Amino acid sequence: MTKIKIGILGAGKISDIHLKTLSENKSVSLISISDLNLELATEKAKQYGIEKIESDYSKILNDPEIDAVDILLPHHLHYKASVDAIRCGKVVICEKPFVTKLSDAKSLMKTAGIKKVSIYLKHYLRYSASHSKLKKLLREKIIGTPYLAKCFYTCNSVAEMNNKKSWKGNIKEAGGGVLMDAGVHVIDFLQDIFGNPMSVSSECKQVFTKLKTKGEDLAMINLEFPNNVMAEITCTSNDTSYGFRWEKHVFGSEGSLHIIDCGKDKNELLLYKNGKVVIRESEDDWWNQTNKNILNDIISKIINKEKPSVDLNTAYVGLKTIIKAYESAKAGKRIKI
Ligand SMILES: NC(=O)c1ccc[n+]([C@@H]2O[C@H](COP(=O)([O-])OP(=O)(O)OC[C@H]3O[C@@H](n4cnc5c(N)ncnc54)[C@H](O)[C@@H]3O)[C@@H](O)[C@H]2O)c1
């Protein structure tokens, strides 16, 4: 079987789960890895048996041996790396957010359209078992007509948000704070179950972060969806005691569905009807599993020439929602998306 030959762009924190998953996938051959920090790239290359190590990622883009690139770079580099990769004839896999500016999104969509290529984005929440089950139960109308969702994200990025040298949360390089970094996932999840949001009002604040170069460390977003569904998202990067967690609650006319955090790497899906718990299912090791699920699905879709599960139009509306949320926070009013 011919394997997809992949080059990795960026050997930072998220690269470990990508490298582990791709190295275990029998349809993939990891050929090269690039990072400005050559020591880091070399360390990962050794660990995963990757032969070519580059500090300049354009060497990977111009390498005829490479079929696809996996872009794991800071946010502001996603646009250029994706456009250049498409122009070099490579298939693009890219971490979220796919770009940080609407003008870049439009330009990337135009390039992808002209070259007739797809970009495979890593919007991973859709690939968690509890999320898929929640979506299935919603479709089966098990809670009747949904009218409200409440989503909650926390992490502890206080050190990075207060570090001038870190690109994370930096408006120029990250495109914003916790909403751009993590809110992008929950907006995608809500788009998946309710369609595209129509309007937004929001409050975005710096609470623990005082650096002017950084974005918000607390974002509270209110979204209006079709069919009279409202959603609230609260994201903060200031949870110094608990750290990373996602929670989601969907309320309907005949019950409610909840995905709750149950300690490290464990989620639980609950269905309440008539005051009773009707379904309780736990999902262990969910973060690793969900990342593996989406990366393996992307590889299978590339091999079978199938379209990505998140198309660029959907990602564009997701990004627009974030940009409009920032505008709403500044203007102090509700804004159409
Ligand atoms: N889906 C998720 O759950 C998840 C989680 C964490 C991060 N991410 C995303 O993954 C991406 C990377 O995040 P990270 O946490 O690994 O960041 P990171 O800072 O740890 O890694 C980024 C790497 O890119 C390298 N780099 C910067 N400029 C470069 C250049 N011009 N050429 C080559 N290498 C360059 C840096 O040296 C660094 O090692 C971001 O888009 C982030 O939002 C996704």
* Residue environment code for 266-302, b if the CB has 16+ CB neighbours within 10 A, otherwise e: ebbbbbbbeeeeeeeeebeebbeebbbbbbbbbbebb
| CA-based radius of gyration for the chain | 20
Instruction: Report how far ligand 1's centroid is from the alpha carbon of 167 (Å).
Output: 9
76 touches 174 (CB < 8 A): yes
Domain limits at 12? Answer: 4-121
* One domain, residues 61 and 154: no
Pocket of ligand 1 (CB under 6 A): 10-15, 34-37, 40, 57, 72-75, 77, 95-96, 122, 124, 181
Instruction: Report how far ligand 1's centroid is from the alpha carbon of 69 (Å).
Output: 14
* One domain, residues 214 and 246: yes
* One domain, residues 105 and 132: no
Is the peptide bond between 74 and the residue preceding it cis, with omega within 30 degrees of 0? no
* One domain, residues 194 and 81: no
For the chain, the domain total comes to 2
Q: What is the dihedral of CA 169, 34, 308, 183, to 10 degrees?
A: -10
CATH number of the CATH domain containing 217? 3.30.360.10
Instruction: Report how far ligand 1's centroid is from the alpha carbon of 11 (Å).
Output: 7
The Cβ of residue 316 has, within 10 Å, a number of other Cβ atoms equal to: 18
Please tell me the predicted confidence (pLDDT) of residue 2. Answer: 82
Please tell me the predicted confidence (pLDDT) of residue 1. Answer: 63
Q: Whose CA is nearest to atom 20 of ligand 1?
A: 12
Instruction: Report how far ligand 1's centroid is from the alpha carbon of 14 (Å).
Output: 7
* One domain, residues 70 and 189: no
Q: Whose CA is nearest to atom 11 of ligand 1?
A: 72
Atom of ligand 1 nearest to the CA of 181: 43
Please tell me the predicted confidence (pLDDT) of residue 19. Answer: 98
Please tell me the predicted confidence (pLDDT) of residue 320. Answer: 98
**Ligand 1: which of 18, 34, 69, 72 to mutate, most ligand atoms within 8 Å of CB?**
72
| Count of H-run helices and E-run strands, the chain | 12, 15
Angle in degrees, 0-180, between the axes of helices 78-87 and 102-115, rounded to the nearest 10: 10
* One domain, residues 45 and 138: no
Please tell me the predicted confidence (pLDDT) of residue 210. Answer: 87
- Which residues does the chain have with pLDDT short of 70? 1
DSSP string across 169-193: TBHHHHSSSHIIIIIHHHHHHHHHH
* One domain, residues 207 and 322: yes
* One domain, residues 112 and 142: no
